[in-house]
Amino acid sequence: MAGLLILLAALLLDISTGEAPNRFHPVAWLGNFISLLLKTRPLTGKVKQTIYGITVVVFTALIIAAPVYFLLYYVQNLNTVLYTIVSAYLLKNTFSLRGLWQAVQRVKTSLQSAAITEARTDVRALVHRDPDHLNDKQLISAAIESCAENLCDSFVAPLFYFAIFGVPGAIVYRIVNTFDAMIGYHGEWEYTGKFAARLDDILNYIPARLSAIFILAAAALCKTRPASGWKTMLAYHNKTESPNAGWTMSAMAGSLNVVLEKAGHYRLGNGEHELSLAAISESQTIMLVAASICGILVIGKEVLVAAIS
């Protein structure tokens, strides 16, 4: 029963309050801590950089997740209500559905006002690509891609690991995912971030494919094009550099009957509809319904565990 209450309270917190300001947000603190650790990274030597990258990820996961585990164990024995509140607060900070929806909404609102400069600024919160020269169609594509891909990172994966390993599992996932977001790409961080990027790929392997299924189920409930989404997903899921992102993005592209493209990197789908602000709205709706399906399944799992116990 405790797991169910923790999950419901965390979901309610996310829906009602969204994201705390960075100065009060544990994930922002984590980012600052990672930045501090990375100041001592070796600047040369592929092997040294790789070993350092492995060390900081494992070290950070251990010094955060282990104390959380023992803290929750202690609090659980001390007071059940306090344990539920603390656990729910920690779990809520591993996912952010409302924050994702709002970030996409800011891009859409700026485009509705023909404020393309503001839209380019807003989209920085969603994608790593340089937005300075993106046109309105490319910004729309980026927003829709983020609805799909970040459904996994920002919601499904944390709940997946909570369902299996509890709050510490969700926290470890968020630590690895934050490392990947900060250093898991080519260029300056090629070797320091390699371990974080590969570990993030492994941790997202199942959640990304589940997220794609949830998107298709949501497309059916929203009466868009789930059959097209299925076909597009099977045909295009391997077109991205990431082994995971292509599943959700191609499922969304097919469901909306649009083409999602990151110039010079990938082109997903063969849809006939033009990218539009309405397509962003549809992707937001599909994302919310897909997240609801995920939430209901995890709640169901917790109910079953409580019934058995």
Higher pLDDT, 195 or 305: 195
- Average pLDDT score over the chain: 94
What local confidence, expressed as pLDDT, does residue 66 receive? 95
Residue type, 147: C
Q: Is the pLDDT of residue 186 over 80?
A: no
Question: How far are the Cα atoms of 17, 103, 156, 179, 201 from residue 204, in angstroms, in the given order?
Answer: 26, 22, 9, 14, 5
Residue type, 9: A
**Domain regions of the chain by residue span:** 2-308
What local confidence, expressed as pLDDT, does residue 72 receive? 95
Q: Which of 123-137, 165-179, 229-243 has the lowest mean pLDDT?
A: 123-137
* The model's pTM: 0.94
CA distance 23 to 35: 15
Encode pLDDT of 33-83 as tens digits: 999 999 999 988 999 999 999 999 999 999 999 999 999 999 999 999 999
Residue 181 banded pLDDT, cuts 50, 70, 90 = very high
Mean pLDDT across 94-113:
95
